[in-house]
Amino acid sequence: MGKHVNIAPIMPRLVDEETAAAYLGRGRTRFREQVKAHQLPAPADRNGNVDLWDVRALDRYVDQRSGIRSTLGEWDQ
């Protein structure tokens, strides 16, 4: 076997504004408006001058909007 192994692409846990907006199916302008209005999660971190969003927080937002219940155990809630 060669030095490199094929693995599935890795989705980073923290993503920039453009990626977060695309992940939710929104344009950047609408995404910014909704973050500013506290309708979407705020950035979770910052890398220099780039705001970063946690993909899991974005997933929780969509889950809540879709009515999907959390599958977390009691100790995680």
DSSP state letters, 14-76: EE-HHHHHHHTT--HHHHHHHHHTTSSPPP-EEETTEEEEEHHHHHHHHHHHHTPPP---GGG
Average pLDDT, the chain: 87
Residue 54 has pLDDT above 90, yes or no: yes
Q: Compute the average pLDDT of residues 49-68.
A: 94
Task: Give the model's confidence band at 75: pLDDT under 50 very low, under 70 low, under 90 confident, else very high.
Answer: very low
Q: Is the pTM of the predicted complex or chain greater than 0.85?
A: no
